[in-house]
Amino acid sequence: MSDSDSSHEDGSLDPLVDYLPALLDAIQDSDVRAIELREGSTEVRIHRAPLQGREAAHVAQEKKELAEVVESTIFPVTSPLVGTFYRASRPGQPALVSEGSRVEHETVVGIVEALHDVLTSVEAGCSGVVTASFVTDGQPVEYGQVLFEVEVDG
């Protein structure tokens, strides 16, 4: 794609093009293998090759470590991507969860905004009680950053 392909008549770039570096950073360490985005006349497709060799071994080790964490009584709920974390589903609404809240595997505990108005729900990923909260509303978060800790049901 050339710069002229993404420019408007007034010479400005499509907003989607401006967010490409952040998008690439966000999916770099994720399991995402393909993504397609459209905004206005701009269309972006990203495809990643399958993991091989050392990278595949590293991912397998991370999954093993995560499985060990799940077996412990405290489960860290982490950010699935880079962005801005919101504790409520809408501004002015109460937090989705707080310390002492009971959660199930699919309970939405917060929302991460990665690109302009691209919202991703963060699920607890386990059943138990929230014992600690490490982020505030509107705080920037990194991929894998611990947002909450949940004491898992025995």
**Residue 46, pLDDT score:** 73
d(CA 23, CA 67): 28
- pLDDT exceeds 70 at position 11: no
CA-to-CA distance for 109 and 99, rounded, in angstroms?
11
Mean pLDDT, range 25-54, rounded to an integer:
70
Q: What percent of the chain has pLDDT over 70?
A: 67
Name the helix (H) or strand (E) containing 139: strand 139-141
Give the sheet arrangement for strand 146-152, strand by strand. Answer: 74-78, 146-152, 128-133, 102-103
Sheet holding 118-123, edge to edge: 118-123, 108-115, 83-86, 139-141
Q: What would the pLDDT profile of 12-31 be if each residue is shown by its tens digit?
A: 455 666 667 777 777 776 77
pLDDT recorded at residue 6: 44
Q: How confident is the model at residue 57 (pLDDT cuts 50, 70, 90)?
A: confident
> Per the confidence metrics, is the pTM higher than 0.85?
no
Please report the pLDDT score of residue 9 as a whole number. 52
Cα–Cα distance measured from residue 21 to residue 35, given in angstroms and rounded to the nearest whole number: 14
Q: From CA 77, how far away is CA 121, in angstroms rounded?
A: 12
Is-contact 132 87, C-beta < 8 A? no
**Segment (H or E) for 21:** helix 20-28
pLDDT of 52 > 50? The answer is yes
Q: Using one digit for the tens of pLDDT, what is the confidence trace for 82-120?
A: 999 999 988 889 999 999 999 999 999 999 998 878 899
Q: Tell me, what's the pLDDT at 17?
A: 65
pLDDT at residue 45 in the model:
74
Q: What is the pLDDT of residue 95?
A: 93
pLDDT at 1 over 70: no
Task: Compute the average pLDDT of residues 53-58.
Answer: 68
